[in-house]
Structure formats: C-alpha cells, structure tokens
Amino acid sequence: MKIMIRQHFTRWLILAGTVIILFSGMAATAADESSPAPGREMARQATKTKRPGITVDHSRLPALNKPFKSGPEITKACQSCHTEAESQFHQTIHWTWKADDNIRGKAGHSVNNFCISSNKMQDKGCLSCHPGWNKSMESINCLVCHGQKDINWEESFNDLKELSASKDPEEVEIAKELRDNIQAAAQSVGRPERKNCGSCHFYGGGGDGVKHGDLDSSLAKPNKALDVHMGIDGQNFRCTRCHTTKLHSIAGRIYTAPAATHRKSLVEDDLVSKITCESCHTATPHKAGSKPNDHTDKVACQSCHIPTFARVNPTKMSWDWSKAGKLKDGKPFKTVGAYGKEDYLSIKGEMKWEKNIKPEYFWFNGSIDDVTTKDIIDPSKRVAVSRPAGNWNDKNSRIFPFKIHRGSQPYDKVNKTLLAPILSGNEGYWTTLDWPSALSKGQQALGLPFSGEFDFVETSYVFPTTHMVAPRENVVKCSECHTKKDGRLANLAGFYMPGRDRNRWINILGWAAILGSLIGVTIHGLGRVFAARNVKKENK
Amino acid sequence: MSGINMNLIYLYSRFERFWHWFQSVLIILLLATGFEIYGAWKVLGFRNAVDVHSYTGLTWLIGFAFFVFWIFTTGEWRQYIPTTKKMFEVIRYYIYGIFKGESHPVPKRKDAKHNPLQRLTYLSLAALLLPVQMLTGFLYWSYNSWSGWGISFVPLEAMAVIHMAGAFAIFQFLIIHIYMTTTGHTIFAHIRAMITGWEEVVKEEKVEDWEKAIVKPRPS
C-alpha cells in the first residue's frame, strides 16, 4: 500500500507542478510591463514628422530692413506681405477677449477670484497681456507670438524717441544700437515657441504660476520628468504641437465650449481640430487586455498621468481679498511666506502658495459652468465662480483633475451679484485702498448697478489640469483611488467603485459568518480532544 | 479504529483528485486576492491582486467546464442527488456521536462517497454558489462590455454585492470544510484519501440501495 501511495503522490506532484508553472506563466504575462504600450507607439508615429521648414529668411525682406520708430510701423511691415493676418487675428478670442456668446470673456462680464475682472478692458493693468502695442487696442503686436528675440518694446521705443534727436556722439551711438536691436528683433520671427505663449499664459493672474497650477515658467524649458511631451530631453513639443492653429485661431478651451467636442483619434480622422491625448494615443493606449484600457471611457488620461501639479514652481491656491487694506505705520506693506512668495499684500489681501499639489477630481464633459457679474449668487455658501460641467452617468463626461483656487471676494449685499472693482490706475483700489470707490467705478465700467452695500463671499474657481504629464513610472497608482479611506476620488458620489465602496450589511454579516465559523470549528475541535481523553480514561 | 475491520477502497479517481486540488488552489488564490481588492488586507498590492484575480477567475471558469463534462459523462452527478434519509443521524453524529467515539452513520462507499449532509452541501456549492460566483465574477470582469450586451441597466453595485456575499459564503465553506477533513478515523485520513484516491473505510457495512449511484451501462 505504501508503494501505491508513493506512486500516486509522485504523479500528483508532477501534475500539481505543471499546473503551478502554467499558472504562474499566465500571471507573469499579465504583470509584464517592459514592452511599450501600443498607444505610445501610435503617438510616436503620429508625431514623427519634423516641424515644417520656413522658406523665408525674414532678415532679407526689404519691408523689415527699415529703421522702425514705433510698434505699429513693424505691424504694417508684417502686413505688407501677410495681408490677411490682421483681419484673421481680429476674429479670435486672443484679440477680442470675448467668447462667442458675447457675454463671457475678459472683455465681457466674466469674473474670476484672482484680479476679479478686467472691467470690459477698462482696468488697464490687465492689458499688459493683450497682444496690442502699448496697452492699446489700436494695432496688433505680431511679435508677442512670433518674435523670437527677447526685447522690451516699450522701453526700447521710448529710449529711442528720447535719444534720436540728440547730437551727443555717445547718445547717437546708443540710438543706433537701439535701432539695430529693434530691427533685428523685428526680423527675428517664426512660429510661436513655448516662451511666446508663456509670456502671457505662464503669468496669468499677475505672476508666475498664479493661475494655472499646470502652466508656469518651468514649462519654458522643462525636463522630461516635468512634462514628457514638452521636455527638452523628451519629445520637445512646442505648445502648438497640440494647440493646433487654423487661420490664427488656436485650439483650446474657451469658457463654456469644450476644448474638443469629438473624442477622435488622428488614426480615425487626421483633420481633428484640437489634438487631445486620444488623438495620438487612441482610446485604448495601454497594452491589450490591461485594466487601464477599461478606464478610458470614464477616467481622463490626465487623472492618472498627472499625479501632482506645480511640481517645480509653486502656484497660488487661495486669495482672500477681505484681508486687503491693512496698513503698517500708515503705509501699505507686504510680507513674504513659503517658497519666497508674497503671502500678504495690503493692496491684494492674503494668499497661499503651494507646490506638488494633488488635484481634485470632478466629472467633466469639457465645459465649465460659471458665474458672471450679471448672475445672482447665494452668498450663504461658497460660490463656485466656475465649476466643471458633467455627471457620472453622462457618457461624454470623464473624471478629470482640477486645480481649485479658493478665495474671498466682494459682492453686492443688495443685488446679490459679484462685484468687479477697478484695481489699476489712479482711481483703482491698488492706489486708493478705498473699496466703495473702486467697486462703484468698476461696476460703472461694466454698466452694472452697485447698491453701495458690499461684503466678501467665499468663492472657488477651477482650472482643468492637463499639462505636466509625468513619465509613466510616476502615474497615480490604482490603490490611490481604489481604497476605502481618503482616496483621490473619495468625494465623487453616485456610482459604485471597487475597492472604495462596499455594502455595509454584506460586510457585517459576512465577517460575522467567518468569525462564527472559526469559533464554531474551534469549539467543536476542542470538544473532540477532550472527549477523546475521557474515552481513553474510561478505557483504562 | 484502524486495523482488522478497515478496508482500503479506491474512492477518488485521478481527475477527481486533480480537480479537487486544482480548484482548491484557485479558490484560495481567488479568496486571497479578492479580499485584497475588497480592502481586507494588503499583500500583492491592488493592481497585482486585480490581475491575479482576473486570470485565476478565468482559469477557473474554463476548468469548471471540464468538471461539468466529467461529472455528466461519468454519471458521478448521481453522487450529488440530495436526500434526507439518515440526514438526521448524520447531524446527530456531528453534534453528539463524534464526541462519544461512535462510528459514522453513513460510511463512505465506492458508489456512495458522500453522506446526506455532504450531498446537500456539495450540490448547493457546485450547482449554485460556485456558478453564481463565476457568473458574477465574469460579469464584473467584463463590465466594459455591458453596454454592448444591452445589460448596462444592471447596477454594478448589485453585481458586487452578490459576488461579495458569495465570497463570504465560500470563505466560510473553506473554513468548515478544512476542519471537517480532520474528522476521519485519523486527523489526516481524509486528506490522504484525496491525495492518493484510496480511503480506509469500515468493513462489512451494507450499502443501502438508495445510497448507490446507479451507473447505467453505456452503449459501446
């Protein structure tokens, strides 16, 4: 019998061994991540073509070989060849600062919780980012976007004006230098580089990284770890690689309009207007059969691939206007806090800066719902000046990461609307520190009423996080969302998520049954041991 | 109890033994990884647990088809026909008789390897609990295809609740089942039988007709 048992046992061992080897082989295949994901290969192919070359050497054009005395003169020179550029550009939001509905936009009734409003462009401080010459709406400054040479235009032209009449040989020399410099800058043009777009978009809100947490000066020359696409040691993308342009109209998100209405890939249709992640990487970019592919219908790529934003430079996370106006020794003052950033200014209030921030997540269909200066608010709770539109059961919505900027800003206690003060200029709050005056001037500029009674209301403002895509080693781990407590998606309700959600009663009853069974078999087993002892004793 | 009145009979065929142990490995893996996904403990990490759970589940599903084929072609399904005869005696034995050193009221026989309590347990397991678990598991795994199959009206939570209830039930079965293997005439007698196929049983006990699995002669 022993031989038989051994024989069977050997067979059993061989069989079990085979099964375990087969099985672990399968598991190994599942866990293998060394081969590149198909979506990455697709994107590499799609972007393989080099940037198109330029067939014009602008320094040899007669129109640009002139002693320019003012900005608009340069623009005229540009237009002498690019005849349609101005009329094209005048149609775009970059010039009009107005959304299609004519209500939203910096030149419309839009507000935020940073500098609050541009008061229909009457708050002149805001115009430093408007692509015209000398903060005027007169003529386009083509070189904001196309100039490749760093130059302070306003200063250069002013100095030139002062020195051009001079007879002093030294000053004549300086004037010549200025003239040459201006001319060289006018000739040095090309397609927009990261620093062109960045000259406004990195500094939105009045400083580096104030507004967007995923867009600051660190993206002018990022490394791959900060942004796999833009990294100069990576794909070295310019902004325009994804923000495609058609007749000067640049693709991107515009207030309530989604950035991309179709989730098409370039593989399906190479004429998609805005390049999104999916355009190049497809909707199933991960290895075939891998779980992340099952997520792309509900979770935006950005949610996992941008683990944190503001990874190099800090970004402003809150701005409390209600604290503005304090004086020290009768004078306005400022204090510097974390990261060497100002955390209090008499003219602006109290602010918080942070780095390496985990985004907050919302269902997002690409549109943003917002409050304008015309909308009635409920000041009893935090007012969402802007918030993502979307819903868990809408098939066009995805879970998307956001920076939320929280603040406190003035509102009209009688009319129940947000108020837009004038900040810059002699009559602006930054000079007068006088709220009632700044508010009434601001409302006047907008053509809106002001009751005279105001207070501050807590607000929030959202920015979709889409830049600063991290290398894949740094992606958000499954367990950061699929977890019972404090997961990244803990606040999203309405749907069942494995690992996060559980049925309370099944949990209680289930564990009770397991515990009961363990106790039961222990008691039964001990009973048998004692009973066996008793039987032995009796037999003795 | 072993000795002169014990008889060695070949009770479990090679496939049956293979299936038993293969399935037990799969079930233990599924429980371990499943409860990790559920958040009960942390061993492999969520992502690995999900991968192992999915592949193990699919392996089980395919393997189960072979088991079903086997059980019907061999007529072994008759071993699972439920009965209430001697059920009370078996229950009484486990509650009382076992402590008094009594012998099992329904000893194992070639054509009656399960006692009435086992029949009921294994039938509900093989015909209800395991298939339900496999079905809900498969649907859970294929959640992304639901809209294509026209079943997206089913809430995922319902599937999760059934699957978890089943998981707890199987976990509970596993505990009791392992304990019950120690109730043979020696602690490891039943386990050894499931490895070798040969079980030592008491001689001279008449197998009642109702207990026998009638194997119909197959047409050759």
Beta strands in A304-394 (DSSP E): 315-320, 334-336, 342-345, 349-354, 360-364, 368-370, 383-384, 386-388
Residue-level pLDDT at A21: 57
Residue-level pLDDT at A45: 76
Asked if A525 lies within 8 A of B14 by C-beta distance, the reply is no
The full 3-state SS of A207-260, as one line of letters, equals CCCCCCCCCCHHHCCCCCCCCCCCCCCCCCCCHHHCCCEECCEECCCECCECCC
Asked if B38 lies within 8 A of A499 by C-beta distance, the reply is yes
Residues in A closer than 8 angstroms to B102, CB to CB, are none
Residue-level pLDDT at A20: 58
Amino acid at the residue A275: I
Residues in B closer than 8 angstroms to A294, CB to CB, are 143-144
The Cα–Cα gap between B173 and A522 comes to: 15
The residue length of chain B stands at 220
A171-193: buried (b, 16+ CB within 10 Å) or exposed (e) per residue?
eeebbeebbeebbebbbbbeebb
In this prediction, residue B1 has a pLDDT band, given cuts at 50, 70 and 90, of: very low
Integer angstrom CA distances of residue A414 from A408, A434, A455, A457: 18, 20, 10, 13
Q: Which of B16, B98, B99 to mutate to test the interface with A (most CBs of A within 10 A)?
A: B99
Residue-level pLDDT at A265: 60
- Ramachandran sector of residue A206 (left: φ over 0; alpha: ψ -120 to 50; beta: rest): left
SS3 A410: strand
Question: What are the residues whose beta carbons fall under 8 Å from the beta carbon of B207, sequence distance 6 or more?
Answer: B109, B111, B112
Asked if A503 lies within 8 A of B157 by C-beta distance, the reply is yes
Question: What are the residues whose beta carbons fall under 8 Å from the beta carbon of A191, sequence distance 6 or more?
Answer: A51, A54, A146, A238, A240
Asked if A510 lies within 8 A of B164 by C-beta distance, the reply is yes
Query: Model confidence over A57-97: pLDDT tens digits?
Result: 999 999 999 999 999 999 999 999 999 999 999 999 999 99
Integer angstrom CA distances of residue B202 from A2, A4, A375, B91: 19, 20, 89, 20
Residues in B closer than 8 angstroms to A511, CB to CB, are 168
Distance of CA A421 to the CA centre of its chain: 27
Backbone φ and ψ for A481, nearest 5 degrees, come out as -110, -40
In this prediction, residue B3 has a pLDDT band, given cuts at 50, 70 and 90, of: very low
Pairing outcome for strands A454-464 and A383-384: parallel
Residue-level pLDDT at A261: 64
Average pLDDT over residues A388-413: 94
B45-50 contacts, C-beta under 8 A, 24 or more apart: B45/A479, B46/A477, B46/A478, B46/A479, B46/A482, B46/A483, B46/A499, B47/A291, B47/A477, B47/A478, B47/A479, B48/A31, B50/A291, B50/A478
Distance of CA B135 to the CA centre of its chain: 17
In this prediction, residue A5 has a pLDDT band, given cuts at 50, 70 and 90, of: low
How distant is the Cα of A393 from the closest Cα of chain B, in angstroms? 11
Nearest to B46 among A482, A495, A517 (CB): A482
The Cα–Cα gap between B84 and B119 comes to: 10
Q: Select from A128, A148, A131, A120 the least CA-distant residue to A86.
A: A131
Residues in A closer than 8 angstroms to B164, CB to CB, are 502-503, 506-507, 510
**Lowest-confidence pick of A70-84, A313-327, B143-157:** B143-157
Largest Cα–Cα separation, chain B: 65
The full 3-state SS of chain B, as one line of letters, equals CCCCCEEEEECCCHHHHHHHHHHHHHHHHHHHHHHHHHCCCCCCCHHHHHHHHHHHHHHHHHHHHHHHHHHHHCCHHHHHCCCCCCHHHHHHHHHCHHHHCCCCCCCCECCECCCHHHHHHHHHHHHHHHHHHHHHHHHHHCHHHHHHHCCCCCCHHHHHHHHHHHHHHHHHHHHHHHHHHHHCCCCCHHHHHHHHCEEEEECCCCCCHHHCCCCCCCCC
Residue A531, chain B, CB below 8 Å: the answer is: yes
CB proximity under 8 Å: A 328-357 to B:
none
Asked if A23 lies within 8 A of B38 by C-beta distance, the reply is no
Residue A137, chain B, CB below 8 Å: the answer is: no
Mind giving me the DSSP string for A135-155?
T-SSSB-THHHHB-S---HHH
SS3 A270: coil
Q: Select from A121, A151, A153, A123 the least CA-distant residue to A137.
A: A121
Average pLDDT over residues B170-176: 96
Query: Model confidence over A449-481: pLDDT tens digits?
Result: 999 999 999 999 999 999 999 999 999 999 999
Residue-level pLDDT at A124: 85
Residue A249, chain B, CB below 8 Å: the answer is: no
Residues in A closer than 8 angstroms to B160, CB to CB, are 496, 498, 501-503
Question: What are the residues whose beta carbons fall under 8 Å from the beta carbon of A351, sequence distance 6 or more?
Answer: A316, A318, A319, A320, A341, A342, A343, A344, A345
CA angle A96, A102, A105 (to 5 degrees): 55
Q: Which of A7, A33, A291, A299 to mutate to test the interface with B (most CBs of B within 10 A)?
A: A291
What is the helix (H) or strand (E) element at residue A514, kind and residue range?
helix A504-539
Asked if A510 lies within 8 A of B168 by C-beta distance, the reply is yes
How distant is the Cα of B219 from the closest Cα of chain A, in angstroms? 31
Residues in A closer than 8 angstroms to B183, CB to CB, are 528
Distance of CA B44 to the CA centre of its chain: 26
Query: Tokens 């993308």 correspond to what residue?
Result: A237
Given a contact cutoff of 8 angstroms between Cβ atoms, the answer to whether A256 and A99 are in contact is yes
Asked if A517 lies within 8 A of B54 by C-beta distance, the reply is no
Question: What are the residues whose beta carbons fall under 8 Å from the beta carbon of A226, sequence distance 6 or more?
Answer: A218, A219, A311, A312, A468
CB atoms within 10 A of CB A78: 22
Average pLDDT over residues B168-197: 92
SS3 A354: strand
Residue-level pLDDT at B215: 53
Residue-level pLDDT at A7: 62
**Lowest-confidence pick of A353-362, B116-125, B197-206:** B197-206
Asked if B164 lies within 8 A of A503 by C-beta distance, the reply is yes
SS3 A490: coil
For residue B30, the cross-strand partners are: none
Is residue A333 predicted with pLDDT exceeding 70? yes
Residue A294, chain B, CB below 8 Å: the answer is: yes
Q: Select from B26, B22, B6 the least CA-distant residue to B14.
A: B22
SS3 A464: strand
Mean per-residue pLDDT of chain A: 89
Q: Which of A15, A18, A23 to mutate to test the interface with B (most CBs of B within 10 A)?
A: A23
Query: Model confidence over A476-530: pLDDT tens digits?
Result: 999 999 999 899 999 999 999 999 999 999 999 999 999 999 999 999 999 999 8
Given a contact cutoff of 8 angstroms between Cβ atoms, the answer to whether B88 and B82 are in contact is no
Query: Model confidence over A187-203: pLDDT tens digits?
Result: 999 999 999 999 999 99
Q: Which two tokens stand for residue A513?
A: 């049954």
Residues in B closer than 8 angstroms to A23, CB to CB, are 25, 55-56, 59
Mean per-residue pLDDT of chain B: 87
Asked if A528 lies within 8 A of B99 by C-beta distance, the reply is yes
Q: Which of B16, B17, B30, B144 to mutate to test the interface with A (most CBs of A within 10 A)?
A: B144
Pairing outcome for strands A349-354 and A368-370: unpaired
Residue-level pLDDT at B220: 43
Q: Select from A89, A217, A216 the least CA-distant residue to A141.
A: A89
Residue A9, chain B, CB below 8 Å: the answer is: yes
Asked if A1 lies within 8 A of B100 by C-beta distance, the reply is no
How distant is the Cα of A531 from the closest Cα of chain B, in angstroms? 5
Given a contact cutoff of 8 angstroms between Cβ atoms, the answer to whether A433 and A323 are in contact is no
Amino acid at the residue A281: H
ipTM above 0.90, yes or no: no
Is residue A235 predicted with pLDDT exceeding 80? yes
Q: Select from A350, A496, A95 the least CA-distant residue to B160.
A: A496
Residues in B closer than 8 angstroms to A502, CB to CB, are 38-39, 160, 164
The Cα–Cα gap between A37 and A306 comes to: 18
Residues in A closer than 8 angstroms to B161, CB to CB, are 503, 506
Residue A515, chain B, CB below 8 Å: the answer is: no
Residue A368: CA count within 13 A, CB half-sphere: 25
Residue A535, chain B, CB below 8 Å: the answer is: yes
Integer angstrom CA distances of residue A535 from A530, B1, B100: 9, 13, 7
CB atoms within 10 A of CB A402: 24
Residue-level pLDDT at B199: 84
How distant is the Cα of A537 from the closest Cα of chain B, in angstroms? 13
Answer with the residue of higher pLDDT: B217 or B6. B6
Residue-level pLDDT at A532: 82
Helix axes B14-38, B46-73, angle to 10 degrees: 150
A340-347 contacts, C-beta under 8 A, 24 or more apart: A341/A314, A341/A316, A346/A433, A347/A429, A347/A430, A347/A433
CB atoms within 10 A of CB A347: 16
- Per DSSP, A311 falls in state S
Domain boundaries in chain A?
Answer: 202-475, 477-519
Asked if B22 lies within 8 A of A19 by C-beta distance, the reply is yes
